Amino acid sequence: METPPAHNTRSSRRKTPSQIASSLPPTIPRRSPNHTTTSTTKRNTPYLPTPTELALVATYPLLLAFGALYALVSPETRSAPYDIHRQAHSQDPSLAPSYFARKDNLLNILFVKRGWAWVTVAFFAFAITHPAIQTVGQRARAIVRWGLVTLWWVFVTQWFFGPAIIDRGFRWSGGRCEVLEIKIEEGEGMGKGDFVTAAACKACGGRWSGGHDISGHVFLLVLGSGFLVQEVVWVAMRWGRGGRGEERCVVMADGAVKGAAVERERGGGLGGEEGEGMGTVKALGVGGRLAGVVVVLSGWMLLMTAIYFHTWFEKLTGLLVALAGLYAVYIIPRWVPALRGVVGLPGI
């Protein structure tokens, strides 16, 4: 019997390209020419807060709504005398529905009345001591953000080219200062409606009457705690998780929308690598924990304000004015590159 030529045997065993591909081990991925590793990454819109930010912001109206509901169903609160001019229940200890319904409670005197001082101390303690904030540029931009938020606090509660926004809003909505009759008779008063600030009215023995009074307590507590959350949480998340986790998106100069991590080179990036993998809570550091205490106390006093002080509309406007300031400092720069170059982003 004759043996077939050798070349015929080799040609009969030759595999087609499809057979070669099907014989590859399953651990070798087959990628199309257009494959990209980020094709399934979901990006957040740069014009709105991220889902986590929205969840945190939602705690404010929830606290206010819970406080309003509690005030309606609580027999002690409903039966306590309420002064619409002072936006508070009776301050007589025997008539006040709660210790926290009295304006002389220690947290109100030592914490809320000095609220912005506590916010400022907590912020600088974090910005100076946290190892993730090392470069001059990072600290400078953080201070710029603090300055802008502080300026908004001043404009709303202290001074706005004359009376503060709260006082101007009260006057524009029809409010006035009612001076006590005895002051007018003695010639110590200037007459009704002549005072343009709540402080001046009170100093002369008068009281605000009519008009809409934006809740300064709600404004301060929301603005201060929201500011600290933005400054601390983004840094702690990136430091503790090694840059992983939810990402903000930004609009670049050419109009492209990218993750905020692309800004690291310009901002200097997070300092060091020691914190990676330690977790967000441990990554807070001493300054971050102090900020956390301020945020928790702010939440508690916000709840007390929701239960015992102001009307629901006054509390709502206080909330909206505070959120407007936070949006301007922390969200608008994400879609305005020129502004972002000045104020930066926390954690970048």
C-alpha to C-alpha distance for 15 and 18, rounded to whole angstroms? 8
- For Cα atoms 180, 80, 182, give the angle at the middle one, nearest 5 degrees: 10
* Integer Cα distance of 106 and 143 in angstroms: 30
Token digits of residue 207: 């009281």
The sign one gets for the Cα dihedral 231, 237, 238, 240 is positive
Q: Which of 35, 89, 212, 217 is catalytic?
A: 217
Helices and strands (DSSP H and E) totals, the chain: 16, 6
Read off the tokens for 167. Answer: 């006082």
The angle subtended at Cα 326 by Cα 322 and Cα 332, nearest 5°, is: 140
DSSP 109-161: IIIITTHHHHHHHHHHHHHHH-TT--SHHHHHHHHHHHHHHHHHHHHHHT-SS
DSSP for 281-329, written as a single string: TGGGHHHHHHHHHHHHHHHHHHHHHHHHBS-HHHHHHHHHHHHHHHHHH
Residue 35 bears catalytic tag = no
Q: Give the torsion sign (CA, 82, 86, 88, 92).
A: negative
Structure tokens at 194: 């002549």
Q: By C-alpha distance, which of 315, 286, 287, 281 is closest to 301?
A: 315
Active site residue 310: yes
Whole-angstrom distance, CA of residue 283 vs CA of residue 274: 10
Q: Which residue out of 85, 89, 212, 310 is catalytically annotated? A: 310
> What distance in Å separates the CA atoms of residue 123 and residue 142, rounded to the nearest whole number?
9
Q: What is the DSSP string of 62-85?
A: HHHHHHHHHHHH-HHHHHS-EETT
DSSP labels, 84-103? TTTTEE---TTT-SSGGGST
Active site residues: 217, 310
